[in-house]
A and B are shown apart, each in its own frame.
Chain A
Amino acid sequence: MPLPIEQLDITAFRSLRNLKLGKLGRVNLLVGVNDSGKTSVLEAIALMSRPLDSSWWLRVSHQREPSSVPLRRLSRTDRIRWLFPPSNSPELDRADMVIRAEGRISTTAMTARFKRVARMRPLLGTASERETSGARLHIEARIADEVRARTFTLWQGGPVVYPSRTARELHCEVVLAYHHWMPTLPIRGYSQARLEGTSQDLTTLLALLDPEIQGLEILQPEEEPVLYVTHAAHGPVPLSVYGDGIRRTLLLAEAVAKAKGGLLLIDEIETGIHFSALGGVYSWLVRACRELDVQLFVTTHSLEAIDALLAADTTPDEDVVAFKLGQQGGQSVVKRYGEDQLKWMRFERGLEVR
């Protein structure tokens, strides 16, 4: 059975130009220097999974700016605008993006056009109005061999409509570097695992990081439910007391289960987990991806993460491949490394692949 995405062509998306990722694998490592476009590839894949969903566009456009970031946040319109290729006059422009994919994914082509629009909006509690901007998007997508189009405007401060998902859409889960600090995610993940009877798998996974972890449970000592870790020596300990490793691992476990049959996109996969635990966690992750038919795309700057993911695949199939991204003369360039080549470079010769 083909993978969700066997080939991805990104003609124009953010700063990516004419990027072709061919012969994709079950596990795809995206490497390259800063600003080479690794995270942009994840975003392009995410949009391809639900191209006509306005709320998904908003989520993808703002996930680089978590609310706690101490910088002034871009407007909704600008965040959408910067998903498109930059131009010399970003305030006035129109812009287009084009992405194509081959594989099991239902969306095989997407073109999107951005146009900045404006309207007057009443100021609350006053009789005056102020101009507010919006991002008008016209999207055409070939979904299951049928061309579908949608035009909508995402206004600054306007309501967001969350459409129900269609059965044809692939699941696509996105895990960013800061997501393990979002308090509700692990509770949802544990609840889902408990309902599906896979909570023991989570315990086994967490025990890779701390062998004294015996399980998880949701308790409600005050107003809000809290996820507790049952520890052999300390009894129930709130998950929030634990460091990044446990939280991150739990988040990965939740994400791979939710991505069943679809796509899991992880930015900076090495985040939060000590290198000594990477081997165990990634072995579990790669096995889970295979068992749940999940295609994994990860970005990383870490050689330890690359080594651990390579070591995690012990099958003769070429499951793990890497793409080194770069820019040259205004175009994206990419070098693909197959699994044999990666293992030779890392395990036989100690060569750099990032």
Chain B
Amino acid sequence: MRYVYFVVEGPHDVEFVARFLTLHGLERVKHKPDLALFWVPVLPTSWPSPLGSTDLLKRVQVPAFFQNQDVSVAIDSATSDSQLLRSAIGMRNTVNQPGGDELQALGVVLDSDQTTSAQERFTRIAKGLADANLPLAAAPGQVVQGPPRIGIFVLPDNVSPGTLEDVLIDCAEKQYPQLLVSAREHVESVKAEIPPYTQDDLKDFQKPAGRRKAIVGSIGSVLRPGKAIQVSLQDNRWVEGEALELPRVKRFREFIDSLLAPPPA
């Protein structure tokens, strides 16, 4: 059995990665007895409470697990570069046991935005991993042989500024073109300067990726009304058929495939 760990930036990204795992026949593990023993150390046994924290909203974090007969994958969600790094390094140190199986590959998936370029974010994560004695990743989207094998993918395409939603809009052009048109019209009809909006109402909408997230959310709301976009990603055809031939999607698929592939003979 090969073991691969992904840490990604949010629950949407978890389900996006999961869609590519299903292409390899991996299925979601829903019950502990079905989970590879390798991952048992990363199952929480108590409610985590950071030192000095009084946060009652802190939730117990459990990775999403997927496996087939050859590969077992855990996907974690984290925010900020420091949390992505802590999860990647901490999880690897937790699962590797002396004399036991070791993590074959470690993938990090994150966004770039208008203020921090893809290369900058990649460099921060690559340096952080290397400082923890992990292999130095060569470039965004490229997988270096380990052990463990390491890859860092900066959405949407390792070069352009953007987020997962840019890729999903590409996918919607192929899979849900009519919905995409109407969702765009709906979002474009929102005029922030016209009352009765308060400043707080459109705070997130007016962020750089706000409109694109709203378009994807609108499509998701039609496909799975009342559910979060990750449910639609899980249930609907975003990453299927012609969408798999899109350049950005192909690049991401190759990234996942490289991390999941058997070690070289």
**B-contacting residues of A (Cβ < 8 Å)?**
303, 311, 326, 328-329, 331, 333-335, 337, 341, 343-352
Q: Given A334-B98, A351-B43, 19 more contacts at CB 8 Å? A: A303-B45, A311-B51, A328-B98, A328-B99, A329-B99, A335-B97, A337-B93, A344-B86, A344-B90, A347-B49, A347-B50, A348-B86, A349-B42, A350-B44, A350-B47, A350-B48, A351-B44, A352-B41, A352-B45
Which B159-199 residues have C-beta < 8 A from chain A? none
Is the Cβ of A350 less than 8 Å from the Cβ of B93? no
> Please, which residues of chain B bring their CB within 8 A of the CB of A328?
98-99
Residue contacts A-B, CB under 8 angstroms, 11 given:
A328-B98, A333-B97, A334-B98, A337-B93, A344-B86, A348-B86, A349-B42, A349-B90, A350-B45, A350-B46, A351-B94
Q: Residues of B contacting A311 with CB < 8 Å?
A: 51
A350's contact among B60, B97, B99, by CB below 8 Å, is which? Answer: B60
Given the complex of chains A and B, what is the CA–CA distance between A351 and B42 in angstroms? 6
Residues of A with C-beta under 8 A to B45: 303, 350-352
A225 to B120 CA separation, bound complex (whole angstroms) = 72
CA distance A337 to B48 in the complex (A): 18
A310's nearest neighbour on chain B, judged by CB, is B51
**B-to-A contact residues, CB < 8 Å:** 41-51, 60-61, 86, 90, 93-94, 97-99
Q: Are B48 and A349 in contact (CB under 8 A)?
A: yes
B94 engages A345 (CB within 8 Å): yes
Whether A343 pairs with B51 at a CB distance below 8 angstroms is yes
Main secondary structure of the interface of B (DSSP, over half): loop
Complex interface: chain B residues within 8 A of A344 (CB): 86, 90
Contacts of A341 in B (CB 8 A): 90, 93-94
- What is the CA–CA distance of A350 and B53 in the complex, to the nearest angstrom? 14
Q: In the bound complex, what is the Cα–Cα distance between A303 and B93 (angstroms)?
A: 19
Contact flag A346-B98 (CB < 8 Å), given A341-B93, A351-B42, A352-B41: no
What are the residues of chain B within 8 A of A345 when measuring CB–CB?
90, 94
> Closest CB of chain B to A350's CB: distance in Å?
4
Tell me the complex Cα distance, A124–B48, Å. 65
In the bound assembly, the distance between CA atoms of A326 and B86 in angstroms comes to: 26
Residues of chain B lying within 8 A (CB to CB) of residue A349: 42, 44, 48, 61, 90
Q: Report the Cα distance A326→B60, complex, angstroms.
A: 28
Q: Which residues of A contact B90 (CB under 8 A)?
A: 341, 344-345, 348-349
**B93 touching A346, Cβ below 8 Å:** no
In the bound complex, how far is the Cα of B48 from the Cα of A347, in angstroms? Answer: 5
Task: Using CB atoms, name the residue of chain A closest to B91.
Answer: A349
A333 & B41 in contact (Cβ 8 Å cutoff): no
State in angstroms the CA–CA spacing of A303 and B45 once bound together. 10
Q: Are B51 and A347 in contact (CB under 8 A)?
A: yes
| Shortest 7 CB-CB contacts between residues of A and residues of B | A350-B48, A350-B44, A333-B98, A344-B90, A350-B46, A328-B99, A352-B45
Residues of B near A331 (CB, < 8 A) are 99
Q: Are the C-beta atoms of B48 and A346 separated by less than 8 Å?
A: yes
Q: How far is the CA of A328 from the CA of B100 in the complex (A)?
A: 10
Q: How far is the CB of A8 from chain B (nearest CB, A)?
A: 16
Nearest chain A CB to B109's CB is how many angstroms away? 20
Asked whether, in the complex, the Cβ of B41 is within 8 Å of the Cβ of A351, the reply is yes
Determine the chain A residues whose CB is within 8 A of the CB of B99 once the complex forms: 328-329, 331, 333
